Amino acid sequence: MKQRSIGRSGLAVGALGLGCMGMSEFYGPTDEAQSLDTLAHALDRGVTLFDTADAYGFGHNEELLGRFAKGQRDRLTIATKFGLVRKPGAYERRVDNSPAYIRSACEASLKRLGVDTIDLYYAHRLNLETPLEDSIGALGELVEAGKIRAIGLSEVSADTLRRAAAIHPIAAVQSEYSLWTRDPEQGVLQACREVGAAFCAYSPLGRGFLTGQVASDTLDAKDFRRQNPRFADENAQQNQRIVDTVKSLAAEKGCTPAQLALAWLLAQGDDVIPIPGTKRIAYLDDNLGALDVALSADDLARIGAALPPGIAAGGRYTEEGMKGLNA
């Protein structure tokens, strides 16, 4: 698989990464054996960036990835996150970026992952209570101590990214980016290029909606998408036109909707690394097929015109989920 650099960190990863969140929570029933098989298949296919967070499954996701990494740590680039503090059994959360919390969260993640160093450590969300100088300073100390290799920020504004990069090099920004979420184009992508940070695109398939394989009324009762505004009945009906357009464009290119959506993201720049999440090998293989889809300048212009920014109906998250976004 072609490699892409994570900013100026010296880390290079496969052009498509793997989001591991759904292997522990949020997207219906989970199966550890199935997830471990998918992780192994991903690594065999050339995926090297594996993305998790301490908040996914209240630590379970890191433990799962840690079990997989055992004995082959040098083959994986592990990204994890801190800062979202959740209440057990609830979606409710608070954001903590205090230096003391950062240090304790890092130690806990290292233990769950079973590693000595985290390759890419993200602030999952930022709040306005802790001075940026304090939180970035604490992360810089973790770099100096060898606990982490590179610093990342998630869902930050362009101004915050520039301020953070003036304190310590930022290797990557992770935010939602897809054919129905074009927000990063409003300044964050430009700021990433100014400071030399890669952009890791999460939910590049619109939480599965863009594949045409997800219908709100068929989701598991505990699937968090049931509460997501874009999956709500009226919004979902309006957003179906986006899926229909993606399907039509994909048919013209002779690929699947998922492959078209990911190929479009890959074509946005060599510094963009999509991290589609899945717990199934079949979906993983479908996603990896995007690497073989070539989009011309005309193709990209046509796709962009058919699916302009702001086309999606409904917000990206509920009000609770919006805490700390674009701080």
Please answer whether residues 189 and 269 qualify as being in contact, where contact means their C-beta atoms are separated by less than 8 angstroms: yes
Rounded CA separation 76/52 (Å): 12
Helix (H, G, I), strand (E, B) or coil at 137: helix
Q: Is 56 part of the annotated catalytic residue set?
A: yes
Count Cβ atoms below 10 Å from residue 160 Cβ, excluding itself: 21
DSSP-derived secondary structure for 194-225: HHT-EEEEESTTTTTGGGT---GGGS-TT-GG
CA distance linking residue 280 with residue 67, whole number of Å: 18
- N-to-C CA span, the chain: 34
H helix and E strand count, the chain: 10, 12
**Whole-angstrom Cα distance, residue 178 to residue 260?**
11
CA dihedral 274, 277, 282, 287 (to 10 degrees): -10
Give dist(CA 169, CA 180) in Å, integer. 30
Separation in Å, CA 137 to CA 34, 100, 159, 176: 40, 12, 18, 26
HSE at residue 179, side-chain half, CA atoms within 13 A, is: 33
Catalytic residue among 27, 56, 121, 283: 56
- Alpha helix stretches (DSSP H) within the chain: 32-44, 60-69, 99-113, 132-144, 158-167, 188-195, 233-253, 257-266, 281-288, 297-306
Q: How far are the Cα atoms of 82, 122, 143, 212, 270 from residue 139, in angstroms, in the given order?
A: 11, 9, 6, 40, 26
Query: Active-site residues: which are they?
Result: 56
